[in-house]
Chain A
Amino acid sequence: MKSAMKPHPTPGRASEQLTKEDCLEMFRQLYLARYFDVRLIKEKKRGRLRGTLYSSHNQEAIIVGSIFGLRPTDWISPVHRDMPMFFMKDMRAGWRNPDRMGMSIEEVCAQVWCKSGSPGRARDNWSHIGSLEKRIIHSTSMLAGTIPVAAGVVLADRLNGGDAVVLTFNGEGSTAQGIFHEAINYAAIHKLPVITVVENNQWAYGTPVQLEVPTEDVADRAKGYGIPGYIADGQDVFDVYDKVMEAVEYARSGKGPSIVECKTFRAYGHGDHDDDRAAKYRDPHEVEEGRLRDPLAICRRRLIEKSYLTADDAIRFMAEGKSSSEATTEDFPPEVVAYLDEGIRFALASPEPPAEEGGMWVFKESE
């Protein structure tokens, strides 16, 4: 796997500045992202959930590694496969800290369960939530559609004297949208701090990457805009962190946008409705190989190398390589399970929104 930054010099190793506590927290967050996925699939199979699940299994290092180093004031724009990102933003400030700049697990679970406790009051589905207060751009179905919005957000921030950057997340298939070009082109001309993270999981629904993108690396697109295009190993949380932090530094210092391509592999079907068909349209060997480098295992190895984990502690929880049906709660740290339990309890108790809300908030009413 190529790991070069083009056309700029080799990125720094920001991850070397991370403390032991930071590294252990990242490890824990990987478990949390994995457990969110495992648990929701279980809940769906138990019939407690409706709506489609877009699994982020095997892509957690991108979620954790790219947002871990952001400042609370920075913005993110997650997409369908990044559901854990909504509650993981600014998680370093304390998982249960109500003032941190991310959603609570309760809010996110209420959204998943289609309840009024959702930040969007269950008006739109799955990842289509956001928060002005927490600086999370509200996603829609329109792929790549929030990149220009992100550019506008940081434009306004700059005009207001701020130094925030914005991270937008997109699948590699979504880079084929015309709006992807329009937005990055504009951001590059105006040197806006817009970082386009591309999660290249090799598949866009039932279509392989070769039929979506004409070049080997999506990061090559950057050349056409004269901006940096970084490539990260999307299975390695520290490599993602390094490349994204390089892009963040670059953006914050006023140099402008960049693209960070994270190479990864989609573990399951496009959504859970597609699992059976995906088993037919994807070669089982390709799937096996694509899931070989579990981000949990890679992070664990790093932590052992750094002596941040003892051999005994390292094997206490072993969720890696396990599908949702194979993994049990014993495979996850108890604080991870407890955190999600709280979210789900809240979601189940939260009422459905009242019918009349369907007719509300079309316009701002004048006071």
Chain B
Amino acid sequence: MSAAAKAPESLKKNYLTALREALDEEFGANPDALCMGEDIGILGGAFGVTEGLQSKYGKDRVIDMPISEAAIIGAAVGAAMNGKTVVAEMQFIDFISCGFDQIVNMMATYYYRTAGEVNMPVVVRGPAGAYGGGALYHSQMNEAWFCHSPGLRVVCPSTPYDAKGLLKASMRDGNPVIFYEIKELYRQREIEEELPASDYIVPLGQAAVRREGSDVTLVTYGNNVYHCLKAADALAERGVSGEVIDLRTLVPLDETTIFKSLAKTNHVVVVNEAPRTCGFAGEVVARICDSAFDLLDAPPVRVTRLDTPVPWAKPLESFVLPSTEKIVDAALRVVRF
């Protein structure tokens, strides 16, 4: 489903392994790369993304940090301004809030307020997303906070190929990046794919068309890519042809790919897992209205989480989150407008 993997000798890799390979390869190529986080060294990370890296690159480059998110991010900023490329792990992206000030007021603004003197090659990455029964503090998609903080790139891969390529691109970008890993995809078998044996990146700011269609465009990212693909299957059974766009990078946003699709379909549903109010789907809809209103035959529609936290019990969690059914309903409403 992602760009063709032309490496017949390589085996299929899951999303988590792809991330680990990205770190490993970048660490091998760049002696100034280091990572800092809670339980990332001895343990190899709560989910195992950094497994084996400390024994390979040493305690000075794979640093077990105290439970201090603000210090992890702040120290990443300092090391980055002094020549290092730093990957800071949040054990769950939910805990990024404990380092919020260091991100939005320190890291995000550094380049701007120094008139371009200080590069900030920091990637703050961590497991994100709901659908796994993680409840309020192990389910968040808080990307909107950072999309709203100028100076930060915001990235969210949905496939192993992209996970690796986008993480590598993020580490080389030179701007601070908030990198959302979808933990429900870490070990998902169905999405495993072969990865190129040679070095590659997925450039930031390029969306991917995951499925071509002619009647309605479903714009999304992260776990909802799969709900949208299933929705497109269901829509096809009803004679509606859905096109699915995976944004992959939110900042910068690839408007061109969206508008190109709208020129064909004239209908759009935007899906995000985060709450509705001031969520990223709203931004996408606004951009479409700003620049591509003429292409629309019907008002754009959002499918998002309700404006609630993510509750624990399964029926409650499903009630508040986007689902294939909710996307199908929205798409039918749009095309029948």
B-binding residues in A (CB < 8 A): 50-51, 114, 121-125, 128, 140-143, 173-174, 176-179, 204-208, 211-213, 277, 281, 352-359, 362
CB distance from A111 to the nearest CB of B (A): 10
B215 lies within 8 A of chain A by Cβ: no
Closest-CB distance, A214 to chain B (whole angstroms):
9
Query: Do A173 and B66 touch (CB < 8 A)?
Result: yes
Q: In the assembly, what is the distance between CA of A128 and CA of B138, in Å?
A: 12
Judge whether B104 is part of the interface by a CB distance below 8 angstroms.
no
Q: Mark each residue of chain B from 245 to 257: 1 if its CB lies under 8 Å from any CB of chain A, else 0.
A: 0000000000000
| B70 part of interface (Cβ distance < 8 Å) | yes
Q: Are A177 and B98 in contact (CB under 8 A)?
A: yes
Residues A204 and B67 in contact, CB atoms below 8 Å apart:
yes
Can you give 16 contacting A-B residue pairs, CB < 8 Å? A114-B312, A122-B316, A124-B136, A124-B137, A128-B135, A174-B67, A177-B98, A178-B98, A206-B42, A207-B43, A211-B66, A352-B315, A357-B311, A357-B319, A358-B311, A362-B308
CB distance from A216 to the nearest CB of B (A): 16
B64 contacts the other chain (CB 8 A): yes
- Please determine whether A123 and B313 come into contact, CB atoms closer than 8 angstroms: yes
Which residues in A have their C-beta under 8 angstroms from that of B319?
355-359
Interface size on B (CB < 8 Å)? 38
Selected from A50, A177, A208, A358, the residue in CB contact (under 8 A) with B306 is A358
- Is A141 touching B137 in the complex (CB atoms < 8 A)? yes
Select from chain B the residue with minimum beta-carbon distance to A212.
B66
| 6 interchain residue pairs of minimum CB distance | A206-B43, A141-B137, A358-B316, A176-B66, A358-B319, A355-B315
Select from chain B the residue with minimum beta-carbon distance to A115.
B313
Q: Are A122 and B38 in contact (CB under 8 A)?
A: no
Contact status A353-B315, CB under 8 Å: yes
Closest residue of chain A to B59 (Cβ to Cβ) is: A211
Number of A-B contacts (CB under 8 A): 115
Interface flags for B127-167 (1: CB within 8 Å of A; 0: not) read: 00000011111100000000000000000000000000000
With the chains together, A211 CA to B68 CA distance in Å? 12
- Contacting pair B313 A353 (CB below 8 A): yes
Residues of B within 8 A of A174 (CB): 67
Query: Which secondary structure dominates where chain B touches chain A?
Result: loop
The answer to whether B312 touches A281 (Cβ under 8 A) is no
Beyond A125-B135, A141-B138, A206-B43, is A212–B307 a contact (Cβ under 8 Å)?
A: no
1/0 contact trace for B292-313 toward A, CB 8 Å?
0000000000000011110111
Do A206 and B39 touch (CB < 8 A)? yes
B98 near A205 with CB under 8 A, answer no
Within 8 A of A (CB), among B86-109: 91-92, 94-95, 97-98
Measured in the bound complex, the distance between the Cα atoms of B64 and A281 in whole Å is 14
Given A204-B67, A205-B46, A211-B66 in contact, is the A140-B136 Cβ separation under 8 Å? Answer: yes
Chain A residues with CB under 8 Å of B136's CB are: 123-124, 128, 140-141
Known contacts A140-B136, A142-B95, A358-B308: A123-B316 contact under CB 8 Å: yes
Contacts of B71 in A (CB 8 A): 176, 178
Q: How far is the CA of A277 from the CA of B42 in the complex (A)?
A: 10
CB within 8 A of A359: which of B68, B95, B308?
Answer: B308
B56 located at the interface, meaning its Cβ lies under 8 Å from any Cβ of chain A in the complex:
no
A352 touches B39 (CB 8 A): no
B335 interface hit (Cβ, 8 Å): no
Chain A residues with CB below 8 A from B64, complex form: 207, 211
Residue among B68, B92, B312 making CB contact with A122, cutoff 8 Å: B312
Determine how close the nearest CB of chain A comes to the CB of B167; give it in whole angstroms: 22
Q: Say how far B141's CB is from chain A's closest CB, in angstroms.
A: 16
Would A212 and B67 count as touching, CB distance under 8 A? yes
Is the pair A358, B315 in contact by a Cβ cutoff of 8 Å? Answer: yes
Q: How far is the CA of A357 from the CA of B319 in the complex (A)?
A: 8
Q: Which residues of A contact B315 (CB under 8 A)?
A: 352-355, 358
Closest chain A residue to B48, Cβ basis: A277
Q: Tell me, yes or no, whether B6 is within 8 Å of chain A by CB.
A: no
B318–A355 contact, CB under 8 A? yes
Closest approach, in angstroms, between the C-beta of A90 and any C-beta of chain B? 27
- The answer to whether B66 and A51 have CB atoms under 8 Å apart is no
Q: How far is the CB of B326 from chain A (nearest CB, A)?
A: 13
Q: How far is the CA of A78 from the CA of B92 in the complex (A)?
A: 21
Interface centre among B39, B64, B94, B313 (most CB of A within 10 A): B313
Closest to B317 in A: A358
The contact of B313 among A114, A211, A281, by CB within 8 Å, is A114
Residues of A within 8 A of B91 (CB): 205
User: Does B320 touch A at the CB level, under 8 Å?
Assistant: yes
Q: Tell whether B189 is near chain A: CB-to-CB under 8 Å.
A: no
Closest-by-CB residue of B relative to A174 is B67
Closest to B320 in A: A358
- A155 CA to B97 CA in the complex, in Å? 26
Whether the pair A359, B306 counts as a contact (CB closer than 8 A) is yes
- For the A-B complex with A141-B95, A354-B315, A359-B306 known, give 11 more contacts whose Cβ atoms are closer than 8 Å: A122-B313, A123-B312, A125-B134, A125-B312, A177-B68, A178-B68, A178-B98, A205-B46, A206-B43, A352-B314, A352-B315
The residue on B at minimum CB distance from A359 is B306
Contact A353 B42 (CB under 8 A): no
Are B316 and A353 within 8 A (Cβ)?
yes
Q: How far does the Cβ of A171 sit from chain B's closest Cβ, in whole Å?
A: 9
Shortest Cβ distance from B61 into chain A, in angstroms? Answer: 16
Q: Residues of B contacting A208 with CB < 8 Å?
A: 42
Which residue in chain A gives the minimum CB-CB distance to B46? Answer: A205
A51-B133, A207-B38, A211-B66 known; A124 vs B43 contact (CB < 8 Å): no
